[in-house]
Amino acid sequence: MKNRGFARFIAILLAVLMALTLIYTAIASLTAGAVPTQEEIDRLREEKREYERRKQEIQSKINTIEFERMTEFAKKQVLDDRIMLTGLEIDNINETIDYYTILIAEKEVEVLAAQGRENIQLQRYKNRVRDMEENGVISYLEILFDSTGFSDMLARLDFVNDIMRADEMLYYNLIDARNETEAAKEALEVIKSETEVEREQREALSVELSMQMFEANDLIAQIEASLETENALYLEVDAEARRIQNEINEKVEALRREEEKRQLAEANRVRGTGDLRWPAGAGGYITSGFGTRLHPVFKVYRFHSGIDIGVDHGTNVLAADRGWVITSAYNASYGNYIVISHGNGMTTLYAHLSSRRVSEGVEVQKGQVIGLVGSTGVSTGPHLHFEVSVNGQKVNPERYL
């Protein structure tokens, strides 16, 4: 009987150890490079409150008469700012959920460990109760009656008291282990509940983002519905694109001069391959090609300086090749846009981003995430506008993809 109880105890212990090993392995892969703390979660919540405060300021601006007096470009920029903040809120919630996911895995390990300790204490208690059932009080009396004298009886009485105290300790250890298990389970449920709240907020913000994008896109659509305003918009966009291209050319030339002087060894080292990869995550398709195209409504020809890639809002935008970020900014025409110099006179431009993930002056690797697809600037729907320039001249990106 005792051998069977001991074997059962060992089996429980081994099962707990194996389960803990598996879960710790899962957490190790999940937490690579991330150590969630309450301070980190508090920081994210504070960031989220700041985004909400700034959105309220923007909404107040939208509700004023001054907003109605703004130009369409200025209005679009205000709406883009609101969209960007909502996107940052969603990113913030996603990061918070990632932390909670790690904490849930950790708490599940704690619950399993506590349950294992409780099972071990329970098995010990059961074994002791079984011994007491088999031997009962008689065993205590036999210990006392077998004494050889008064002093021996006193010693045996102390021994019996020690056994009884050990039995009592087994009981309290079991109660403590059970309380520890319940506390771990309650903490786990609290984190799961908080995670669910974050997910609900993310869903609400996704709906809000869709409505904000519709409002911003509708503004551009209203402008394009009139030939006069569409012409004015086209001229303004075209002038802005030329200014940006001149700015790119100046930066590329400045970079080249610095390379020649060997004052930017790092920039000299960062050269692309000239073989560009697809810049819009894994998927998407070209919705508008490079070159002259006919306006579908007004039947006038417009020059399109890049290609438009149709993908979902929030899709990763990837660096088409290794290079050096020479521009990371917002512009009324391009919205959020990034320009990368790849050396040998080649640059790539990524426009209408919902957010930018790299800043000017940093090196990027081919395939690195540099931003997210959006609909900022003059855009009537989420897509990536992608341009390639060689020696200051815009060329068809499809020749290099």
Residue 295 has a pLDDT of: 56
**Which amino acid would we find at residue 25?**
T
Rounded (to 5) percent helix, strand, coil in the chain: 60, 15, 20
For the chain, the distance separating the N- and C-terminal CA atoms, rounded to the nearest angstrom, is 75
How does pLDDT run along the chain (401 residues), one tens digit per residue? Answer: 445 555 555 555 555 555 545 445 544 444 444 556 778 888 888 888 898 898 888 888 888 877 888 877 788 889 999 988 998 899 999 999 988 888 888 888 888 888 888 888 778 777 766 766 666 554 655 665 566 665 655 665 666 566 667 667 777 777 888 888 888 888 889 889 999 999 999 999 999 998 988 888 888 777 666 656 666 666 777 777 778 888 887 887 777 777 655 544 444 455 677 789 999 987 789 999 998 876 554 456 778 889 999 999 889 999 999 999 999 999 888 999 999 999 888 999 999 999 999 999 899 999 999 999 999 988 888 999 999 999 889 999 999 98
Contact between residue 366 and residue 319 where contact means Cβ atoms under 8 Å apart: yes
Both tokens assigned to 38: 């309450």
* Amino acid 396: pLDDT: 94
Tokens 């989420």 label which residue? Answer: 382
- The gap from C-alpha 394 to its chain's centroid, in whole angstroms, comes to 35
What was the pLDDT predicted at 129? 66
**83, amino acid identity:** I
CA separation (Å) from 150 to 54, 143, 146, 229?
A: 86, 13, 11, 114
Instruction: Tell me whether residue 376 is exposed, middle or buried, using C-beta atoms within 10 angstroms of its C-beta: 0 to 12, 13 to 18, 19 or more.
Output: buried
pLDDT reported for residue 321:
94
Q: What is the H or E stretch that residue 292 is in?
A: strand 291-294
pLDDT at 373: 94
Per the CB < 8 A criterion, the answer to whether 334 and 351 are in contact is: yes
CB of 103 closer than 8 Å to CB of 36: yes
Residue type, position 367, single letter:
G
Angle at 144 between CA 141 and CA 145, to 5 degrees: 85
Count CA atoms closer than 13 A to 110's CA, side-chain side.
17
Cα–chain center distance at 392: 37
Which part of the chain is CATH 2.70.70.10? 227-399
Return d(Cα 346, Cα 296) in angstroms, integer.
32
User: What is the predicted pLDDT for the residue at 183?
Assistant: 86
At 286 the pLDDT is: 93
Q: Tell me if 355 sits within 8 A of 315, measured CB to CB.
A: no
State how far the alpha carbon of 206 is from the alpha carbons of 164, 201, 210, 214, 250, in Å. Answer: 64, 9, 6, 12, 40
CA nearest to 389, candidates 257, 290, 254, 286: 290
pLDDT at 306 (0 to 100) = 93
Q: Which of 188, 1, 19 is nearest to 117 (CA)?
A: 19
Residue 216 carries which side chain, given as an amino acid letter?
Answer: A
pTM exceeds 0.75 for this model = no
CA contacts within 13 A on the Cβ side of 248 = 32
Length of the chain: 401
Q: Which residues pair with 309 in a beta bridge?
A: 286, 384
The one-character DSSP state at 10 is H
Half-sphere exposure of 44 (CA within 13 A, CB side): 19
DSSP 42-66: HHHHHHHHHHHHHHHHHHHHHTSHH
DSSP per-residue letters across 337-392? EEEEE-STTEEEEEEEEEEE---TT-EE-TT-EEEEEB--SS-SSSBEEEEEEETT
SS3 state at 71: coil
Q: How far apart are CA 291 and CA 302, in angstroms?
A: 8
Torsions phi, psi of 175, nearest 5?
Answer: -65, -45
How far is it, in rounded angstroms, from Cα 326 to Cα 103? 39
> Contact, 177 vs 118, CB < 8 A?
yes
The class of domain 227-399 in CATH terms is: mainly beta
Q: Which residues 6+ apart lie within 8 Å of 75 measured at CB?
A: 67, 219
